[in-house]
Amino acid sequence: MHLLSSLKIQQAVYRAISEITFNCDPQVHQALSKAMANEHDEIAKDVLNTILTNHSLSPADKIPLCQDTGTTVVFAELGTDLHITDGSLYEAINNAVRQAQQDCPLRASIVNEALFARHNTLDNTPAIIHTEFTAGHALRLVIAQKGGGAENMSFLQMMSPAASSDDIVSYICDGVLAAGSRPCPPLILGIGIGSNFEGVALLAKKAIFEELGRANPDPRYAELEARIKAELNARGCGVQGLGGNNTVLAVHILQAPCHIASLPVAVNLECHAHRHCEVWL
């Protein structure tokens, strides 16, 4: 049995949030630079240049990459031979979120209930935490700050099992384009196909944090990713909805088995800020 202090987890999560709040993912910066190089629209080029400039100013001035500093989302893979001491995993993560909100500082964006009182918790807690158990004694954390604008434009449908790949492409592209400028394109799309109602949404969320622009290991899904990206970028929504040929930077699909009567499809939209990192303990 391997022992890990909850304080070490808290410190690692705090450092991760502090890092991604101000520092752009290098892969995103590279993708946006490539987008600007192949952009045909002058207004879109100007906006892309502003975004890229912000990548330098944010860490230098300690101003968050985006004013919406997001909901903290954590995917935790917890080894069955690991024992957390002096507290729990959830306590450690939420303590880190609370500390980062005060120190960075971050906008307080979480309310205590969705419908009635909607009192702000004032410290960005609680985080959204998904836990899986794995073999061994390691703890892997994928930590993200997920903005509300793109999250609000995400969508899900329990499609007929008779639906074709063409039907799925049309559904996804129509949904993304209907969102227009609200999710702050250029976007990263996480797409889930399969599982069930709640499982497909989780697949879509996890898909966002795949290596940016990676080709799906299954060539059928790789082709589907490429089709969706090409069609969206050809249909003219563009950067911040102002036009051009860069509506999406990457499309990632994760798929899973499902019931014979179902074909669940979920799309989780991610803005170009794409604040996330991976921590191993």
Angular region, 240: left φ>0, alpha ψ -120 to 50, beta rest: left
Q: How far apart are CA 164 and CA 48, in angstroms?
A: 35
Inform me whether the pLDDT recorded for 103 exceeds 90.
yes
What pTM value is reported for the model?
A: 0.96
What is the identity of the amino acid at 30?
Answer: Q
Q: How far apart are CA 232 and CA 246, in angstroms?
A: 8
> Is 2-20+65-146 CATH 3.30.360?
yes
Q: How far apart are CA 251 and CA 267, in angstroms?
A: 10
Under a CB-based contact definition with an 8 Å cutoff, are residues 110 and 121 in contact? yes
Inform me whether the pLDDT recorded for 1 exceeds 90.
no
Mean pLDDT of 229-252: 96
pLDDT grade for 28, boundaries at 50, 70 and 90: very high
pLDDT digits (tens, 9 = 90+) for 178-197: 999 999 999 999 999 999 99
Mean pLDDT of 156-176: 98
DSSP labels, 86-155: SS-HHHHHHHHHHHHHHHTT-----BS-SSS---B-SS-PSPEEEEEEESSS-EEEEEEEE-HHHHHT-E
Inform me whether the pLDDT recorded for 213 exceeds 90.
no
Mean pLDDT of 107-133: 97
Residues of the chain within CATH 3.30.1330 domain(s) are 149-274
pLDDT grade for 147, boundaries at 50, 70 and 90: very high
User: What is the model's pLDDT at position 221?
Assistant: 98
Mean pLDDT of 257-265: 98
Inform me whether the pLDDT recorded for 139 exceeds 90.
yes
pLDDT grade for 247, boundaries at 50, 70 and 90: very high
pLDDT grade for 130, boundaries at 50, 70 and 90: very high
User: What is the model's pLDDT at position 55?
Assistant: 96
Mean pLDDT of 118-140: 97
> pLDDT over 70 for what percent of the chain?
100
Q: How far apart are CA 111 and CA 90, in angstroms?
A: 18
Domain covering 149-274, topology: 60s Ribosomal Protein L30; Chain: A; (3.30.1330)
Parallel/antiparallel/unpaired status of strands 128-134 and 263-270: unpaired
- State the CB neighbour count (10 A cutoff) for residue 236: 14
Residues of the chain within CATH 3.30.360 domain(s) are 2-20+65-146
User: What is the model's pLDDT at position 27?
Assistant: 95
Instruction: Tell me the pLDDT of the chain averaged across its residues.
Output: 97
Residue 139 pairs with which residues in a beta bridge?
78
Mean pLDDT of 213-226: 96
